[in-house]
Structure 1
Amino acid sequence: MRAHDIIVIGGGAAGLSAAELLGRARRDVLVIDSAAPRNRFAPHMHGVLGHDGVPPLDLLDKGRAELDTYGVTVTTGSVESVTEIVRGLKVTCADGAVAYARAVFVASGIDDTLPDIPGLADHWGSTAFQCPYCHGWEHRNRRIGVLASSPMHFHYAQLVRNWTDDLTVFITDATVLSQLDDATRQRFDARGVTVVTSPVAGITATDGTLTGVRTEDGAVHPVDAIGLHPHSRPRDGFLAPLGLDRTEVPGVGSFVAVDAVGQTSHPRVWAAGNVVDPRANVPTAMGQASMTAGMLNTTLVTEDTDNAVHALTAPSSHHDWPEVADDGFWETTYAQAPPRWSGRPNPSLVRVLTEELGGAGTARGRAADIGCGEGADAVWLAQQGWDTLGVEVSATAVRRAQDAAAAAGVDGVRFTDVGVQGLADAAATDGSAPFDLVTASYLHGPSQGRRSALLLDAGELVAPGGYLFLLSHVMPDAAPEEYGAVDALGFDDDTWELVRDETVDRAVIGLDGEVGGHPDRVVLLRRR
């Protein structure tokens, strides 16, 4: 299987705009669309220059037709999860279909949940609307009601007043009524806005046409249209495995956080449109998506160039590696290449340690990450509360790890380039306290003759009652149930208890775009 450059999740105005720009940039793009755009209930869209009054689905049909010119593939499906793999992401759909990409562009939008008012849903998208800029003109100078289910909607009502002289605000909740202060009442009175405090009981209609709002006191208040703010929920549950940073929008909800150019806290996940900004109308979402897609393409261009430069100096195959990859080899490997890893902790390490030792907030001790590379796992351990030491043999890797910790604003993590042997020697010489957790991920290289000895040295750094976590695809390759991992790795059964032993598939996107993989062994031991 070959990975796409980018998978766009969502085929609305934002997603198709991003896909078109990326297709024109000669990227291999797949769009996965749930075929349920937010504005599908509206018969026409407005305020879209050159397309005013066009049905929103007609715009999307035209957009999909344009994508054919640029070789963009559009499929219909519901994304179940996005998970991290080496050099990319795995996208799994609800029907079991799987696709891979170097990056994902999220434009999946939001779902609007209307207040539970009988009859309201029948008019949603026509005479019941949210955005006055999109639909206010069509209801100008008519009788408009605003449903205020939050104090924030008092400001919304003042906005809607711009389109009509006959505006009624309906307070739908006793809690909201308690926050209707004298200053707000004065502002309503000054603009001739009527306030109804009896709770809303339902919407009245004649032959399908909205005619009024019925309140619990039995009164029916004539209106021709209703403005409201439904509860908006971003369609981003599939991103949960990545643990992205989020932003809490007061009175609205929780949204994936993006920077000024649309990048999330994961370097390979970008987002635009309503999924990150519920206020965005069609032209805003299209503009955001186009700009963000351009920045995404720029990062891939940089990565392409970095990989090309690295290919000039890196060993062309494992046959070019030395018989024993010594400390000098690893320093040269890091020094002659750009950052090698994603900056994200290994998902297997995160999953197993969280399941077995608890998440952030659990009482912690001292941890050492052996072969810490550029520091992602060590930084994650410190974020979970461990007093962490990252151990390497490459000074360049240590500098990058220190920079990563500083960029993340993480305290409680230090780095050293003395290697596991140096750390073990120091512990033996000065009686340094052992660690409550030692981790070693991919502590290997082709013909790494000292691997077994290094792992045993790492084990000696674990205090009684502490844990040793090992992750590698070059451990003994028998299935876990076929042998005892403690014996196979050279550890003493009387000293160590096996807590976890499993094999997981690890997908890898190669520099040529081909998707391959290695089975990883995950072993967690506890020192008796």
Structure 2
Amino acid sequence: MALRIAGGKLEDMEREWDCIVIGGGAAGLSAALVLGRARRRTLVVDAGKPSNSAAHGIGGLLGHDGRPPAELYEKGRGELAAYPDVEVRSGEVVRGERGFVLELADGSIERSKTVVLATGMDYRMPDVPGIAEAWGRSVFHCPFCHGWEARDQPVAVLASGARAVHMALMIRNWTDDVVLLTNAADDLDDAQRKQLDAVGITVDPRAVARFVTSGGDLSAVEFADGTELPRRAALVATTLHQRSPLAAQLGATAVPSPLAPDGLFVDQFQRTSVPGLFAAGDIGAQMPQVAAAVATGSLAGASVVQTLLGDDVGLPVPPWPTQALPADEYWERHYGSRDRIWSGRVNARLEEVARDLTPGSALDLGCGEGGDAVWLAEHGWHVTAVDISETAMGRARDEATARGVADRIAFERHDLSETFPEGDYDLVSAQFLHSTVRLERPRILSDAAAAVRPGGHLVIVDHGGMPSWATGVPHDFPFPSIEEVLAGLNLQDDQWERVRVEAIERDVSTPDGKHARIADNVMVLRRKP
């Protein structure tokens, strides 16, 4: 065990890091600089594989315009050396677990309170011979990085579809001699062709055989028919891909896009879907540019510091983003946040309806911790209680057992966006079936209506709007109106009766103890016999 003297005491050097930054490129070094200046114990693990190592120079980075990338990274590591709380280590993280526990290629294990993923991405180029030889110089993917060097020269654009149109129009800013190569892909419509023709961009549909280079620079494009098109530069469509399974191992949610099929979700503070896990640079499918990587790295570092201060001294920080989480993980996290979420009482609107009905079979959608299901069972109903969270259903089972009705409730786990319980029922209840993560609500409610037996009831109770004091949920969250819900159900008037359809206000207490009124949208529909 390594020890050092700090403040007159022996300090365990193998304690948990405040942050481990994975990646020593522009984003990672920028994050580490912020963390070092904030006196946070930080480990930077650098695999030494920057995405832009082939580039002649960095384009558009203030104070470093045209500087070779290797020089920038060397200078950045030199600046980090001034901060005693930052260690830069050459190596590669090969495996990760939430918590965070990271294994390096040399077999060492490191633990950290937070992690910044700044590994960059693999740039996959079109499979055309000759591209690699000129990549990062006269053949490139970013006009903001390399367009200046290609100004006023004959340029080719190699791409297809809508992306090809976008790229060709973009590079037109730097040169008026642009030829779009669709490489035998006939996927432009007449409107797109007219748009390109209007600004003097030629479309050549022939199959491309190779890029001809001389001295490492592009000189011509050779087609499959043997002819050549002289070109001095080319803008080519590339896709960005994760370099390792590390992000997936740590549970980060991907948000596919044409540029990055597995780019990570990040919010405005560079936070991923996993608490404590941040991402900066290309890995977050940001604009693939060094200046953007520096900016997102700096923001990630500052966000890490504030998150740590939230844990250390109670600094108020925004709630961790949840909108990108898989539904099952979101609800497990929700119910796992406290020992109990709900009061255990039945929803008042359901009680008002069900107490006057003859007991039969009931389906409780989104049963949570069982308040409605247990009440229904106590009043003679045989209940199928459905939820996505095993934690919630476990608590509901315990409540049913404690109140002596466990034999009257069948619990089933469903992600209702994927599966729906079988059978038909005398009562189907959907109480406040809202979610900030994926929930195919209109289809689920239609499935709920289809599960009602002739003579049975469908009871839907919705929030009428967002309480003014609510936090963690956007205030423009789309709560549908009563008529929008009913229109989505598309029920036939000759088959359904509206028993009760109205908005009802109720008194509540706000978190600061004040009184307020909120509205519930109540829809009680009876299927005609």
Residue of structure 2 in register with 1:132 after alignment: 143
Alignment equivalent of 1:254, drawn from 257, 262, 278 = 262
Q: How does 1:342-381 map to 2 (within 5 A)?
A: 374=338
Residue of structure 1 in register with 2:41 after alignment: 28
Q: How does 1:239-318 map to 2 (within 5 A)?
A: 239-250=247-258, 252-306=260-314
Residue of structure 1 in register with 2:208 after alignment: 200
Residue of structure 2 in register with 1:330 after alignment: none
For the 8 Å contact 1:235–1:275, the answer to whether it is kept is no
Alignment equivalent of 1:78, drawn from 72, 92, 102 = 92
1:435-478 CA distances to partner (integer Å, 9 max, x unpaired)? 679xxxxxxxxxxxxxxxxxxxxxxxxxxxxxxxxxxxxxxxxx
Residue of structure 1 in register with 2:152 after alignment: 141
Quote how far apart the aligned CAs of 1:149 are. Answer: 3.5
1:311-368 CA distances to partner (integer Å, 9 max, x unpaired)? xxxxxxxxxxxxxxxxxxxxxxxxxxxxxxx999xxxxx9xxxxxxxx98xxxxxxx9
AA of the residue aligned to 2:306: T
1:21-64 CA distances to partner (integer Å, 9 max, x unpaired)? 01100000000111111110102112111111111110110000
Quote how far apart the aligned CAs of 1:276 are. Answer: 0.4
1:216-273 CA distances to partner (integer Å, 9 max, x unpaired)? 1221000011111212113352122233222121354122111111111111101111
Residue of structure 1 in register with 2:31 after alignment: 18
Structure 2 residue matching 1:226: 3-state secondary structure: strand
Q: TM-score, normalised by structure 1?
A: 0.60
AA of the residue aligned to 2:26: A
Quote how far apart the aligned CAs of 1:94 are. Answer: 3.0
Residue of structure 2 in register with 1:426 after alignment: 403
Quote how far apart the aligned CAs of 1:183 are. Answer: 1.6
Give unmatched runs, 5+ long, in structure 2.
1-13, 343-363, 372-386, 414-529
Residue of structure 2 in register with 1:49 after alignment: 62
Once residues 376 and 105 of structure 1 are traced to their aligned partners in structure 2, the CA distance between those partners, rounded to angstroms, is 32
State the identity %.
34
| Closer, same or farther: CA 294–373 of 1 in aligned 2, 3 Å | closer
Higher helix share: 1
AA of the residue aligned to 2:163: M
Once residues 272 and 340 of structure 2 are traced to their aligned partners in structure 1, the CA distance between those partners, rounded to angstroms, is 17
1:6 maps onto 2:19 in alignment = yes
Structure 2 residue matching 1:103: 3-state secondary structure: strand
Structure 1 residue matching 2:256: 3-state secondary structure: strand
Residue of structure 1 in register with 2:493 after alignment: none
Q: How does 1:374-393 map to 2 (within 5 A)?
A: 374=338, 390=369
Once residues 292 and 95 of structure 1 are traced to their aligned partners in structure 2, the CA distance between those partners, rounded to angstroms, is 27
For the 8 Å contact 1:81–1:239, the answer to whether it is kept is no
Q: How does 1:105-504 map to 2 (within 5 A)?
A: 105-174=116-185, 177=186, 179-235=187-243, 237-250=245-258, 252-306=260-314, 374=338, 390=369, 414=392, 420=398, 423-427=400-404, 431-433=407-409
For the 8 Å contact 2:133–2:217, the answer to whether it is kept is no
For the 8 Å contact 1:130–1:227, the answer to whether it is kept is yes
Residue of structure 1 in register with 2:113 after alignment: 102
Once residues 219 and 168 of structure 2 are traced to their aligned partners in structure 1, the CA distance between those partners, rounded to angstroms, is 19
Quote how far apart the aligned CAs of 1:187 are. Answer: 2.0
Once residues 435 and 413 of structure 1 are traced to their aligned partners in structure 2, the CA distance between those partners, rounded to angstroms, is 12
1:69 maps onto 2:77 in alignment = no
Give unmatched runs, 5+ long, in structure 1.
308-341, 345-349, 351-358, 361-367, 379-384, 393-408, 438-528
Structure 2 residue matching 1:19: 3-state secondary structure: helix
Once residues 377 and 242 of structure 1 are traced to their aligned partners in structure 2, the CA distance between those partners, rounded to angstroms, is 27
Residue of structure 2 in register with 1:454 after alignment: none
| Closer, same or farther: CA 416–233 of 1 in aligned 2, 3 Å | closer
Structure 2 residue matching 1:212: 3-state secondary structure: strand
AA of the residue aligned to 2:104: C
For the 8 Å contact 1:110–1:278, the answer to whether it is kept is no
Structure 1 residue matching 2:57: 3-state secondary structure: coil
AA of the residue aligned to 2:95: S
Once residues 424 and 180 of structure 1 are traced to their aligned partners in structure 2, the CA distance between those partners, rounded to angstroms, is 64
Structure 2 residue matching 1:240: 3-state secondary structure: helix
